[in-house]
Structure 1
Amino acid sequence: MNKRSALIALSLTALLVACGKQEAAPSAMSAAPAAISKIVVGLDDNFPPMGFRDEKNELVGFDIDMAREAAKRIGVEVDFKPIDWSAKEAELAGKRVDVLWNGLTITEERKKNIDFTAPYMENHQIVVVGGASDVKTKADLAGKVVGAQEGSSAVDAVKKDAAVFQSFKELKTFGDNVTALMDLATGRLDAVVVDEVVGRYYVAKKPQDYAVLDDHFGTEDYGVGVRQGDTDLLTRLDKALADMKQDGTAATIATQWFGKDITK
């Protein structure tokens, strides 16, 4: 090969290398995660005091206030989307919502499909009965019709206590806790198993109509559910919640809704 041919070959090689580098750049750019500008919160809008509609049909509640504050801290807009709570995992996986934030209990079963923030509240599954009920303990639920919200952790908690569950006449599920408690008030149910934050909210409104048993179906933690693999959003939410606890904002929001700080 003469000098002229060698120079041409070197020039062609350099050109091909340069073109290869230019083609690689867009691929690297497209792999970068898109910036988050808004999060869509999936919730059950009939779950007071966590998330519900007031007399003006506006969404209010403890978790609504917590989500708005957290979104502000991570610099994004927030939209609230009422969903069928029994289909919440499908809504999250299908990207119709970005998070589940509505008194969502952290369970090992749910962890298979949902990533969770650190717990921000501790809750119990309590038993609410009528004010004049002769049911005083879980053992007294034998032969009774008990209600719970479909797809809720109350159903899981009850079934986990197999001996008590099998003693029921029937476990009847409802689309929401409000309807279940209405059926309890009218005598169509003997008891309702419900999140403590919800049950005590209603009992406080009508203490003569309801009573809460000392027995309960276990202690659980609430967390914010995030789509698996969305580590950026999960990390930012965890930091926002930790900061809200540290500076007292979470305690202030809790006191406004529950009369005391019940955050974790």
Structure 2
Amino acid sequence: MNAPRTLLVAALLSSFMLTACGKKEAPSAAAAPAPTPAAPTKIVVGLDDNFPPMGFRDEKGALVGFDIDLAREAAKRLGAEVEFKPIDWNAKEAELSGQRVDVLWNGLTITEPRKEKIAFTTPYLENRQIVVVTAASPIKAKADLAGKVVGVQEGSSAVEAVEKDAAAKSLKELKKFGDNVTALMDLSAGRLDALVVDEVVGRYYTTKKPGEYAVLDEHFGTEEYGVGVRKDDTALLGKLQQAMDDMKKDGAAARISTQWFGKDIVK
């Protein structure tokens, strides 16, 4: 047997085996767990700053209100700074989706159309759309609104509540206002026959002027308030929900509610 040829064959076989062994794939490493989203350091809250008692300016121009206090408490629990940014409430979805605000927190009603664009926390307050008239008004029921001018705040859930009600077809006009304060002024001046408004807002104003207004027994439906965030901002939604749940459990939400409404009305 030719020794050199034997050595050559042996060397080639050894090289082939080493190469084949080198091509074996190493076992794949387990996928690393996704990092926990960092807690927000700042939350920009979009609101209508003329919506008492939820969010409004006091006589010194400072922003105050039930939702203001709730948002401040939630942000404190998240270790985040909170900034309140007054916006055109009629363009709230655009402000949120355009990332000019992080949260809509100002008596925001949960509706099916809004749920298509906004992610909501669980409801924290129940509200009704009440009908406010002057104390001397002959209007005593919804049927009496036929042929009358009824006011609502533009962009509010009152618009949808009235428009989907059978009584809407009989109205002379559904007049939309930038805010409820102006609408109430028109009601007092006789330029409006009635105003449909969130109960928490309507009751706040009417109790400030006893004897000037009356509230009908009938209303335009019950609704619920929630905190709204962008649909893809699931991390912030989860943290806000946890903060709200904790505030309900430890009594902080009840304390804030009692300060503004005289009793705990938080769901």
Alpha-carbon displacement from aligned partner over 1:122-156 (angstroms, at most 9, x marks no partner): 00000000110000000000010000000100000
Whether 1:107 aligns to 2:102 is no
Distance 2:169 2:238 in 1: 42
Whether 1:215 aligns to 2:200 is no
Give, as a single letter, the amino acid of the residue that structure 2 aligns with 1:46: N
Find the counterpart in structure 1 of residue 232 from structure 2.
229
Find the counterpart in structure 2 of residue 59 from structure 1.
63
Greater mean alpha carbon deviation, residues 208-217 or residues 2-11:
2-11
Find the counterpart in structure 2 of residue 193 from structure 1.
196
Deviation at 1:92, TM superposition (A): 0.5
Give, as a single letter, the amino acid of the residue that structure 1 aligns with 2:184: L
Check conservation: 2:153, 2:180, Cα contact below 8 A. yes
Deviation at 1:261, TM superposition (A): 1.1
Structure 2 SS opposite 1:136: coil
Question: Which runs of structure 1 show a deviation greater than 6 angstroms over 4 or more consecutive aligned residues?
Answer: 2-11
Give the length in aligned residue pairs.
254
The structure with more radius of gyration: 2
Alignment of 1:16-95 (within 5 A): 33=37, 35-95=39-99
Pick from 126, 136, 146 the counterpart of residue 132 of structure 1: 136
Distance 2:215 2:36 in 1: 52
Structure 1 SS opposite 2:112: coil
Gap runs ≥5 in structure 1: none
Whether 1:154 aligns to 2:158 is yes
Give, as a single letter, the amino acid of the residue that structure 1 aligns with 2:98: G
Check conservation: 2:40, 2:78, Cα contact below 8 A. no
Using the size of structure 2 for normalisation, the TM-score is 0.88
Distance 1:109 1:145 in 2: 26
Give, as a single letter, the amino acid of the residue that structure 2 aligns with 1:169: K
Give, as a single letter, the amino acid of the residue that structure 2 aligns with 1:79: E
Pick from 228, 234, 242 the counterpart of residue 239 of structure 1: 242
Deviation at 1:262, TM superposition (A): 1.1
Distance 1:61 1:131 in 2: 27
Deviation at 1:209, TM superposition (A): 1.1
Deviation at 1:33, TM superposition (A): 4.6
Find the counterpart in structure 1 of residue 9 from structure 2.
none
Find the counterpart in structure 1 of residue 257 from structure 2.
254
Structure 1 SS opposite 2:151: strand
Percent identity among equivalent residues? 72
Distance 2:224 2:155 in 1: 17
Distance 2:256 2:224 in 1: 18
Find the counterpart in structure 1 of residue 5 from structure 2.
none
Deviation at 1:229, TM superposition (A): 1.4
Structure 1 SS opposite 2:216: strand
Pick from 158, 168, 181 the counterpart of residue 184 of structure 2: 181
Give, as a single letter, the amino acid of the residue that structure 2 aligns with 1:99: V
Distance 1:176 1:119 in 2: 24
Distance 1:182 1:3 in 2: 97
Q: Give me the CA root mean square deviation.
A: 2.3
Greater mean alpha carbon deviation, residues 32-41 or residues 122-131:
32-41
Q: 1:189 to 1:38 in 2, by over 3 A?
A: same
Find the counterpart in structure 2 of residue 203 from structure 1.
206
Using the size of structure 1 for normalisation, the TM-score is 0.89
Distance 2:88 2:244 in 1: 26
